[in-house]
Chains A and B, each alone.
Chain A
Amino acid sequence: NAGVIQTPRHKVTGKGQEATLWCEPISGHSAVFWYRQTIVQGLEFLTYFRNQAPIDDSGMPKERFSAQMPNQSHSTLKIQSTQPQDSAVYLCASSPGLGFQNTLYFGAGTRLSVL
């Protein structure tokens, strides 16, 4: 089991460009989460899916950010018109289900740098 796979590991974009981040959850896991990590804000929840359905996107900036899970084997986080303040490490996590008995397993993250 390779764990949660995130690609690319590093992405550099120019201000105003679009960035798409990919996540492959652990096979058989039904829940997928996206977090953003910065030095200033720490680990911030963005959104999560269960069985591919969006459940909670309360942490997503309302403009420019969108997430999808078209099938059980991958999820994408898309940022349109990237801004320097979007620079962060974006972490994807998956878990077998919901509830405290289901551990969140994190990927190594995608470091996004917006110039």
Chain B
Amino acid sequence: QQQVRQSPQSLTVWEGETAILNCSYENSAFDYFPWYQQFPGEGPALLISILSVSNKKEDGRFTIFFNKREKKLSLHIADSQPGDSATYFCAVATGGNNKLTFGQGTVLSVIP
């Protein structure tokens, strides 16, 4: 049983477009939702995160939209750049600890 689902598995956008990556989860007890970015040969790195008390979090070109009732969230990458080409992981945890459960990831390709 997969606790965190991501879609699509892969996404290709043109430079300058907005990429939208989706995530859903099963357990309503989760209250911390980080997104990690991973480049080939490297470990994942925190990109942006949101707590369940918020429905939106922005950091530059990256925005998380969160719907607690539907247990869904999405990561919007505005003005996508070729350097954004990477794998993006949605993760969940309860705020009391940071033991993360990850989704399967979305591979994003940004074409110049």
Q: A100-B51, A106-B45 are in contact. Are A42 and B102 (CB under 8 A)?
A: yes
What chain A residues lie within 8 Å of B49 (beta carbons)? 100
Binds B, one of A12-20, A79-87, A90-98: A90-98
Task: Return the contact of B43 from the options A45, A56, A99, A106 (Cβ within 8 A).
Answer: A106
Q: A93-B43, A100-B49, A104-B46 are in contact. Are A42 and B96 (CB under 8 A)?
A: no
Q: With A and B bound together, what is the CA distance between A64 and B42 in angstroms? A: 27
Task: Report whether A31 and B42 are in contact in the complex, using a CB–CB cutoff of 8 Å.
Answer: no
Task: Report whether B100 and A99 are in contact in the complex, using a CB–CB cutoff of 8 Å.
Answer: no
Q: With A and B bound together, what is the CA distance between A43 and B101 in angstroms? A: 8
Task: Report whether A42 and B105 are in contact in the complex, using a CB–CB cutoff of 8 Å.
Answer: yes
What chain A residues lie within 8 Å of B11 (beta carbons)? none
Q: A4-B43, A93-B43, A106-B44 are in contact. Are A98 and B102 (CB under 8 A)?
A: no
Task: Return the contact of A31 from the options B34, B98, B105 (Cβ within 8 A).
Answer: B98
Q: With A and B bound together, what is the CA distance between A98 and B93 in angstroms? A: 11
Q: A42-B105, A100-B93 are in contact. Are A48 and B45 (CB under 8 A)?
A: no
Query: Size class of A's contact patch?
Result: 20 to 34
CB distance from A111 to the nearest CB of B (A): 9
Across the two chains, which residue of chain B brings its CB closest to A33? B99
Q: With A and B bound together, what is the CA distance between A100 and B52 in angstroms? A: 11
Q: Is B32 an interface residue (CB 8 A)?
A: yes
Q: With A and B bound together, what is the CA distance between A2 and B1 in angstroms? A: 37
Q: List 20 A-B contacts (CB under 8 A).
A: A31-B98, A42-B102, A43-B44, A43-B105, A45-B101, A56-B99, A91-B43, A91-B44, A98-B96, A98-B97, A99-B95, A100-B31, A100-B51, A100-B95, A103-B46, A104-B100, A105-B45, A105-B46, A106-B44, A108-B43
